[in-house]
Amino acid sequence: MTEKKYKEVSTREYPLVKVRNIGVMAHIDAGKTTFSERVLYYTGINYKIGEVHEGNATMDWMEQEQERGITITSAATTCAWKGHKINIIDTPGHVDFTAEVERSLRVLDGTVAVFCAVGKVQPQTETVWRQAQKYKVPVMACVNKMDRTGADFHAVVEDMRKKLGCTAVPILIPIGAEADFIGVLDVVNNKAIYFDGDEFGAVMTEKEVPADLVDQREEAYMYLVECLSEYDEEIMEMFLEDEMPSLEQVKASLRKCCCAGDIVPVAGASAFKNKGVQPILDAVVEYLPSPIDIWDTHGTDPKTGEALSRHAGDDQPFAALAFKIMNDPYVGKLTFFRIYSGCAEKGMTVVNPRTGKRERFGRIMQMHANTREDKEILHSGDIGAAVGLKNVKTGDTLCFDKNQIVLESMEFPEPVISMAVEPKSTAERDKLGVALSALSDEDPTFVVKTNEETGQTIISGMGELHLDIIKDRLLREFKVEATTGAPEVSYRERINGPSDANTKFARQSGGRGQYGHVIIEIEPGENGTGVIFENKVVGGRIPKEYIKPVEEGIREASKSGVISGNPVIDFKVTLLDGSFHAVDSSEMAFKIAGSMAFKEACKKAGMTILEPVMKLEITVPDDNLGDIIGDVTGRRGNVAEIDADYQETFTKVIANCPLSELFGYATAIRSLSSGRASYAMEPSHFEAVPKAIQDKIVENS
């Protein structure tokens, strides 16, 4: 292993090894923001505790967040705990804002996943867990809401092992539950921690483990050592020889296994009742990685495409990733970025390899939710924001001109729902265009396009709530009066089988003409494979410079579809042959020929329209189970699983249902269960629509 050598500048307040970049992620309503508020209070950032239900939580600063009691945009802040600097990003739990989680996880070194002690592993938890795995982000788990009726710490741990396939190891076990939750059992340090309920939990008392909990602590400690032995050879040798490792060895091994993502430490807490948060902060600085543990971040050379990497250190060439754009009413466009190597200084000039243009840091800041603290310099490992960057988008790399690198970016899901939007007056038209452009810069899952036939502006997003928030922001932030149509599902098209096309594009209008000739084969791909293009032209039948335009023509044509104007997904095109004209051929001619050939091949193959299907998880009172299942079936849904033992008097139903049938579902489920049932949904997959519906879509397109 390479020795980790790095230097730190004198302006740095905290050494790199004592920096933590962590996120807080979970299913909606598991208590992420409440947990974050307690962290800010105990670390001295806030002098009073903000509450989500009172609309004064620091991290939920948007008006829409305060009114609805949910997190919509990820908020970043910085705090200190026991000599460590912790940069925290509080992410949304609602599936409509999954892009916020995606981009936050890309720049984090570790994350705290919050679970509801009653709800256990919920659908959106599984989604954010998959996102964390995708970016190899180490996770620590907090089983929150231990004060609630029905709270069961060990059931949640077991559910994590079963549904998430992780090695979940309890390190802070709740003492008591529900109204009797009074403290936590520190398995590693062999002590009991009790919280004073009258002092916002700020007063903690450490005591010896009570006699009735000694066996439970011993069993949990042995399980921890056993799990460590599976990943740590030194611990394994001691375990096999019936030797017990020292406390320092256990802590070092747990940190190593946690940073590698092999083990997930689990802690119990009740953030709302101010119990258990400080020991979790201790565990965060003890076990989650610093930028030194992550060390290398990978990328490519923008000119040659060769693999490159940068490592942590203030003395390294500057490289940062822009992960979020925000329009601030006071300072304008704010670009959030994570520095992987080098330092960012006020007034510094950098390059964006995507555009090839220079950008200047007018001001650089440390963010505390929606308040800003101006800085002269930000260091390696820091998360900050800049004013003055003009042509930077989410996922862009910022680096020095002489040491260019393109860091690995992030992928965002395609929108599944659309609606038309129009200004209420001609005077509002320009304002609407500016506002929509600003909002789409902020949010990669919010797409704006114009219907060429009708001239309508169509906005697309991840769900009804997503578009509702956009509508609200247009009026409040941008003061744009606009009318919107009813939401519509964003369908997809798919080819039915293999096909081919031999297409010639030739135009002659006096002087130089246009000539492009391609022969292609097309075939359906596996789900999720996207568009694959393969060139098999030999002997220079089509010059190399025309191959790329053919691919571009095919990709562009696939975006507008063949039979309904919806994108064609998951197919492979092979360019087999063609011909060119020494004078009349051009890149544009071959681009058009590629587009025409694609559409011709698709029509020969036959097309199927696909619709987005949602995974529904419904918690329903036993008395209303029949009504709810009947309603799901009536919406063309199918029930995949029924968990009758979910909670006393409540059953959990997991079903798949087309998104088009779920508009207004919140109102329907309330009326069917007298307001007692709740549900969550997330995009699952695309499925072919029934023929009658396909015919109707084609007719209306």
Q: Determine the pLDDT at residue 61.
A: 41
Residue 140's domain is classified under what CATH number?
3.40.50.300
Q: How far apart are CA 617 and CA 107, in angstroms?
A: 30
Looking up residue 454, the CATH number of its domain turns out to be 3.30.70.870
pLDDT band at 653 (very low <50, low <70, confident <90, very high): very high
Residue 56 has pLDDT above 60, yes or no: no
Q: Which of 294, 325, 358 is the last residue of a domain?
A: 294
The reply to whether 317 falls in a domain is yes
Judgement on whether residues 179 and 302 belong to the same structural domain of the protein: no
Q: Sheet holding 499-507: strands in order across?
A: 499-507, 514-524, 571-579, 531-535
Handedness of CA 124, 130, 132, 134 (dihedral sign): negative
> Tokens 């790329």 label which residue?
548
Residue 6 lies in a domain: no
Distance between CA 71 and CA 73 in Å, rounded?
6
Which of 504, 500, 557 shows the shortest CA–CA distance to 531? 557
Measured CA to CA in angstroms, residue 346 lies from 77, 331, 591 at distances of 20, 15, 44
State how far the Cα of 466 lies from the Cα of 442, in Å rounded to an integer: 13
Residues 267 and 151 in one domain: yes
For the ranges 324-333, 370-379, 507-516, 518-527, the maximum mean pLDDT occurs at 518-527
pLDDT value for 60: 43
Residue of 471, 459, 473 whose CA lies nearest to 417:
459
Q: Do 20 and 140 sit in the same domain of this protein?
A: yes
Token duo for residue 488:
């519509």
Other CB atoms within 10 A of residue 510 CB: 5
Residue 513 and residue 471 share a domain: no
| pLDDT per position as a tens digit, 325-343 | 887 777 778 888 999 999 9
Q: Return the minimum-mean-pLDDT range out of 170-179, 233-242, 498-507.
A: 233-242
Q: What is the per-residue pLDDT across 22-32, written as a single tens digit (0 to 9) for each?
A: 988 887 777 77
Residue 336, in any domain of the structure: yes
322 bridge partner residues: 337
Q: Is the pLDDT of residue 55 over 50?
A: no
Please choose, from the candidates 635, 626, 628, the residue with its C-alpha nearest in 3D space to the C-alpha of residue 679.
628
Cβ-contact 202, 298 below 8 angstroms: no
Same domain, 467 and 368: no
Could you list the beta-strand ranges (E) of 39-102.
75-81, 84-90
Tell me 490's DSSP state.
Answer: -
Q: How many domains does the chain have?
A: 5
> Which residue, 584, 605, 626, sits at the end of a domain?
605
Give Cα 670 distance to the centre of its chain. Answer: 29
Same domain as 223, residue 353? no
Q: What pLDDT, on a 0 to 100 scale, did the predictor assign at position 50?
A: 46
**Looking at 82-86, 91-95, 180-184, 375-379, which range is the least confident one?**
91-95
Nearest Cα to Cα of residue 186 among 274, 280, 254: 280
Indicate if the pLDDT at residue 52 is higher than 70: no
Q: What are phi and psi of 263, to 5 degrees?
A: -130, 140
Its pTM stands at: 0.75
Q: CB within 8 A of 494, min separation 6: which ones? A: 524, 568, 569, 570, 571, 607, 608, 609, 610, 686, 688
Whether residue 357 is contained in a domain is answered as yes
State which residues form the domain around 422.
417-490
The answer, yes or no, to whether residue 69 has pLDDT greater than 50, is yes
Q: How is residue 392 written in tokens? A: 């930077």
Q: In angstroms, how far is CA 542 from the centroid of its own chain?
A: 42
pLDDT in tens, 1-15: 456 788 888 888 899
- Average predicted confidence (pLDDT) for the chain: 87
Cα angle value 473/479/480 (rounded, 5°): 85
Q: Which residues contact 235 (CB under 8 A, 6 or more apart)?
A: 225, 228, 229, 245, 249, 250, 253
Task: Tell me which amino acid residue 698 is.
Answer: V
Please give the Cα distance from 323 to 270 (Å, whole number): 31
Flag whether 167 is in a domain: yes
pLDDT, tens only, 371-382: 778 899 999 999
> Which residues in 89-119 are b (16+ Cβ under 10 Å) and which e?
bbbbbbbbbbbbbbbbbbbbbbbbbbbbbbb
What's the CA gap between 526 and 408, in Å, rounded?
Answer: 25
Q: Does 513 share its domain with 540?
A: yes
90-144 confidence digits (pLDDT tens): 777 666 677 778 888 888 999 999 999 988 888 778 878 888 888 899 999 999 9
Same structural domain for residues 126 and 191?
Answer: yes
CA-closest candidate to residue 490, choices 596, 395, 614, 573: 614
CATH code of residue 324: 2.40.30.10
Say whether pLDDT at 320 is over 90.
yes
| Ranges assigned E (strand) in 370-513 | 371-375, 377-378, 383-387, 397-399, 406-407, 417-423, 447-450, 457-461, 482-484, 488-489, 492-495, 499-507
| Cα distance between residue 221 and residue 619, in whole Å | 35
For residue 279, which of 269, 290, 291 has the smallest C-alpha distance? 269
At residue 527, does pLDDT exceed 80?
A: yes
Q: Is position 4 within any domain?
A: no
21, 289 contact by CB (below 8 A): no
Domain stop point among 279, 294, 309: 294
Is the pLDDT reported for residue 68 higher than 80? no
Please report where in the chains the tokens 């500048």 appear, as a residue: 9
Q: Could you tell me if residue 507 is inside a domain? A: yes
Query: Which residues fall within 8 angstroms of residue 141, CB to CB, at 6 or more apart?
Result: 112, 113, 114, 115, 160, 168, 264, 265, 266, 267
On whether both 646 and 661 belong to a single domain, the answer is yes
C-alpha 282/C-alpha 10 separation (Å) is: 27
Please indicate, yes or no, whether residues 128 and 214 belong to a single structural domain of this protein: yes
Long-range contacts of 362-365 (CB under 8 A, 24+ apart): 362/386, 362/387, 362/388, 363/331, 363/387, 363/388, 365/334
Q: What is the CATH number of the domain that holds 528?
A: 3.30.230.10
CA distance 291 to 285: 12
Q: Is residue 2 part of a domain?
A: no
Q: What integer pLDDT is reported at residue 510 of this predicted model?
A: 65
245 & 300 share domain: no
Residues 311, 380, single domain; the answer is: yes
Long-range contacts made by residues 664-673, C-beta under 8 angstroms, separation at least 24? Answer: 668/631, 669/618, 669/628, 669/631, 672/624, 672/627, 672/628, 672/631, 673/620, 673/621, 673/624, 673/627, 673/628
pLDDT given for residue 529 in this prediction: 86
- Cα–Cα distances (Å) from 40 to 46, 112, 141, 264, 693, in that order, read 6, 15, 19, 24, 52
